[in-house]
Amino acid sequence: QVQLVESGGDLVQPGGSLRLSCAASGRIFSIISLNVMGWYHQVPGKQRELVAVFTNGGSLNYADSVKGRFTISRDNAKNTMYLQMNSLRPEDTGLYYCYAQDSTNQNYWGQGTQVTVSS
């Protein structure tokens, strides 16, 4: 089992910044061993949408809507992934979920952290 715990969500004004964190724990030796690790965004009534993701092949993908504004990163020693969110817009409001897939293709989700962008 892998446990994912997000933090860092908050209320912020348009144009502001936030950094989300996702701490991974459990039977994994390191987040490097995960097939995929990334962030998803969900608003009420809609499906979760990919924001940014690492794959174990070394690729990094972003949703078009966040390119140039958000940056995904990770600290392998801390088993923690981050999402730096700059130039936030009201449409970025919603729950942000941490996602991981392990080497057996088991999927894991965190509980979500709320980001609200409003003046």
Quickly state the pLDDT bin for 56 (edges 50, 70, 90): confident
Which tens digits make up the pLDDT trace of 60-113? 999 999 999 999 999 999 999 999 999 999 999 999 999 999 989 999 999 999
Residue 113 is predicted with a pLDDT of 98
Q: Is the pLDDT of residue 58 over 80?
A: no
Which tens digits make up the pLDDT trace of 14-40? 999 999 999 999 877 788 888 999 999
Residue 75 is predicted with a pLDDT of 94
Structure tokens of 10?
Answer: 């908050």
Residue 92 is predicted with a pLDDT of 98
Q: Is the pLDDT of residue 57 over 90?
A: no
CA 49 – CA 34 distance, rounded (Å): 20
Structure tokens of 32?
Answer: 């490097």
Q: How many beta carbons lie within 10 A of that of residue 77, not counting itself?
A: 8
Chain centre to alpha carbon of residue 12: 17
